[in-house]
Amino acid sequence: MKKTIIGLMVSFATISSLTAHEIPTIMETLDSETITAFQKTLHADGHDYRSAFEKHKYISDNDGLAEEQFYTGYCYNKGIGTKKNYTQAVKYYTLSSDQGYTEAQANLAVMYYYGYGVGKNRMKSCDLWKKAYSGGNKSVGKFLRGCRNYK
């Protein structure tokens, strides 16, 4: 089951018919299995976030596994075990997204939506949300209705 947590936005961003509480926030379209798997890696390292980050990055760079690339992007995006670096987050989300990893597609869409680490591109956001949705990530469906104006 997909879990979506939407944060409150202070400023209003315009995307068609989305209401203020439906505007996407960064990284909050993860399914519960993904969250659990990621948390297990942190617990296995005794909450040594730097060590967990280094393991994910090593596997990402050497084995090219989509899930590990996603976790590496997540760490860069949130500053877990490393400094926040949106450009690197986009890089790893893109690698994972290109392999069809729907959580990466959803999070990359949010990066494009706000222009974090990449030029703001609402059309690209919509394309990525559509890919994620058709790949089985139904939690992004609420963002698609705001994509009608971006064809």
pLDDT in 10s for each residue of the chain, 151 residues: 333 222 212 222 333 344 444 445 544 555 555 556 666 666 665 668 888 889 889 999 999 999 999 999 999 999 989 999 999 999 999 999 999 999 999 999 999 999 999 999 999 999 999 999 999 998 888 888 888 766 5
Query: What DSSP letter does each residue of 83-123 carry, written as one string?
Result: ---HHHHHHHHHHHHTTT-HHHHHHHHHHHHHTSSS---HH
Sequence letter at residue 59: I
List the structure tokens of 147. Answer: 């994509």
Domains and CATH numbers, the chain: 20-147 (1.25.40.10)
In angstroms, the CA 65 to CA 137 distance is 19
pLDDT of residue 72: 95
